[in-house]
Amino acid sequence: MAAGRESHSVGPLELPAVAYVITQPCIGVKDASCVEVCPVDCIHTDDDSEMYFIDPDECIDCGACVDPCPVDAIFPEDEVPAEWTSFIKINVDYFK
């Protein structure tokens, strides 16, 4: 976890704090616009995944990825819509 990052609870779960989260609209789209603008290359995927993920240890909280996303799938962690909060854990788990 990045220096200075805290943890928080999502329901009964305790998760490390993340700066930005990629959510449901990315599934099946995998447009790489966010990857291209990230100054620290913290957005990753693999051939088996249907979406991109932001590494919470590498992200510098700059927000450069938000506007280029064509499907509005990227949110600051504290602004993730209620129906997509499960993606906070999905994102964190991808990097375990």
> Could you read off the pLDDT of 33-71 as tens digits, one per residue?
999 999 999 999 999 999 999 999 999 999 999 999 999
pTM greater than 0.75:
yes
Give the mean model confidence (pLDDT) for residues 73-83: 96
Q: Which domain holds residue 54?
A: 7-94
CATH of residue 36's domain is 3.30.70.20
User: 54: closest CA among 10, 4, 88, 14?
Assistant: 88
Q: How far apart are the C-alpha atoms of 42 and 28, rounded to whole Å?
A: 20
- Mean pLDDT for the stretch of residues 65-81: 96
Measured in whole angstroms, the distance separating CA 65 from the mean position of its chain's CA atoms is 10
Mean pLDDT of 27-37: 96
Structural domain count of the chain: 1
- Does residue 1 lie in a domain region? no
In a domain, 80, yes or no: yes
